[in-house]
Chains A and B, each alone.
Chain A
Amino acid sequence: MNNFTVMIAEDEALVALDMMESLRENGIDVVGPCMSLSDCLDCIDGPQTIDGAILDVDLAGQDVFPAAMLLKARGIPFVFHSGHCTRANLPIELADVRLFQKPTTAEKLTEGLRPTLN
């Protein structure tokens, strides 16, 4: 698990902080937290390589789906982490992405990413 970099998209500051710390404890580098959709898109196009992503579906009232599509197009694995989004709300193109209900611990989310990371 050397030098894996995970992008975090989360608009709740405390949750984002906790997740970052948890991932770092597990030896994973973190990009973010991205608190808006434009943050997300900037991060994906940023200088840092991203190996995976944990995406909150609702970022300050905006859907994260455009960023998810971009990640999918680039073959970067990711999971959704949402408080109120159900599988039925996901666009058809993203229907096979794993969806975790809030609150889910950072460890669980990482586990969710791990198979796809490997």
Chain B
Amino acid sequence: MIERIKQIWHELLSPERQHGYGTTLLPAVVGLAILILLSGGIAVMGAIDSERSARETSQYTTGVIARLEKVRALAVDVETGQRGYLLTGQRRFLEPMKQSVAREIQLLDELKTYAYGNMEGPQENWLARIDRLVRDHFEEANRSVKLASRGKRVEAIDELRAGAGKLRMDELRGLIDRYEAFEYDRQARSLKAASNFEQIGGRQVLVVLLVLLLLLLLIAYLLWRNTRLLQTETELTETTEAKAQVELISRELNHRVKNLFAVVMAIISMTARRETDAKIASEKMRERVNALARAHQLTIDQDGGRAVSLKSLIDDVVAPYLSDCQRYRSDGPDIRLPQRTATPIGLALHELATNAVKYGAWSQGEGGQIAACWTVERDGDSDAVALVWTESGGPKVTAPSEEAKGFGSQLVAQSLRQTGGRFEGEWAQTGLVARLFFAVQREPEGGFEV
């Protein structure tokens, strides 16, 4: 049984079911508490009622007993008056005697009225008997007084001596005693009942208070618990979201790393295919992988790996080849390239820069200058970028033949294709003018697509 209750309790308050039961448990408990309060109220009313009835009984008993005692005392007065007259012959004893009798009868009438409706068992008989005895006593007293007044005093005394009066008095006393004892007993019973009720009522009040206290505690507990559960839920949601975010990032990272490995492998095999000299080959590989690394690093440094500004990309690619005597400038509106565009553009720019150092404006140490300028035009939901790489002040250049177009120019062309753009090379007298056209997806709300 206790196990079962424990089980139910656990089910009611278990966290998984809290939301299901929390709303039904509370009204149930409140309903139960109201029932207990009602029963407590009824018990207290009962206690008050029984106390009132005990008080009434008590008053009634006092009234009955006071009158009975008076009757007893008056009976003695009547006896005294009778004997006084018989012994002394003085009439002054008669007046109190008569008065006592009148008062006695009046009292008994009063008692009958008073006790009417409150009679139970033998009381009515007793009262009738007492009434009879009092009247007999009066008649007997009257008779003996009349005898005495007619001069037959001795006869009257003899009659008194015969003892009928004493017997009557004894019976009266006995009856009154019994009547009183009966009333006392009734009072005692009623008081006891009242005190019992009072005890029960008192206990009930205690129980009610206890239940109220428990109810308040339970409500407080449930409120606290709900708050806690809500908190835990919020924390859980946050953790889940954070986890999902981490998973997303790690997936993207994994994708990028695999892609980078593929690109590095391509750089190695393509460079190796062209260079027979191991030293030159490794030098070129290092430069190209380094350019890749720098483009990648830029996207990591800016905007949490999502985008990079075009100016910082160009400046960073060119930076390793700059020296005091070489002139360089880059200029154009601010535009940010997503990672998938930044890497190929970075590699293309790297090829242009190394080409300039090898054959172009920066190949002679002094006087050569490079200007990288771009314009941005809005084209639907993307930005069209036109970047012009202008070399000047270098040696005279000619367009390479189709066969001579090396890996560099292929790489530049394919890199631009990768971004959905194109490359145009113009080998002018003054130097190479390279035009790079590519599109940048306009940043949607919430950042670049991964």
Contacts and interface: CB of A to CB of B under 8 A. Distances in A.
B266 A15 contact: yes
B417 A15 contact: no
Given A36-B420, A83-B262, A13 B415 contact: yes
A111 interface: no
Contacts of B270: 14, 17-18, 21
A25 to B, nearest CB: 8
Interface string A5-36: 00000011111111101100100000001011
A22 B340 CA distance: 25
Contact of A17 (B254, B261, B414): B414
A105 B255 CA distance: 17
Nearest to B256: A83
B259 interface: yes
A11 B418 contact: yes
A48 interface: no
Contacts of A13: 344, 347, 411, 414-415, 417-418
A62 to B, nearest CB: 11
A74 interface: no
Contact of B261 (A18, A60, A84, A102): A102
B255 A14 contact: no
A21 B268 CA distance: 13
B262 A12 contact: yes
Nearest to A103: B262
Contact of A12 (B263, B273, B410, B449): B263
- Chain B, interface size category, equals 20 to 34
Contact of A84 (B255, B344, B417, B420): B255
A102 B259 contact: yes
A17 B262 CA distance: 12
A35 B421 CA distance: 11
Nearest to A36: B420
A33 B263 CA distance: 15
B258 interface: yes
Contacts of A102: 258-259, 261-262
Contacts of B411: 13-14, 17
Contacts of A33: 414, 417
Contact of A35 (B254, B263, B347, B417): B417
A105 B270 CA distance: 12
Given A83-B259, A102-B261, A103-B261, A14 B266 contact: yes
A17 B258 contact: no
A49 interface: no
B216 to A, nearest CB: 57
A61 interface: yes
A61 B419 CA distance: 12
A14 B449 contact: no
A101 B258 contact: yes
B59 to A, nearest CB: 97
30 contacts: A11-B418, A12-B262, A13-B414, A13-B415, A14-B270, A14-B347, A14-B411, A14-B414, A14-B415, A17-B266, A17-B270, A18-B270, A21-B269, A21-B270, A21-B273, A33-B417, A35-B417, A36-B420, A61-B340, A83-B262, A84-B251, A84-B255, A84-B258, A101-B258, A102-B258, A102-B261, A103-B261, A103-B262, A105-B265, A106-B269
Given A18-B266, A35-B420, 17 more contacts: A11-B418, A12-B259, A12-B263, A13-B411, A13-B417, A13-B418, A14-B267, A15-B262, A16-B414, A17-B270, A18-B265, A60-B420, A83-B262, A84-B254, A84-B258, A102-B262, A106-B269
List 3 tightest A-B contacts by C-beta distance, closest first: A18-B266, A13-B414, A103-B262
Interface of A: 11-19, 21-22, 25, 33, 35-36, 60-61, 83-84, 101-103, 105-106
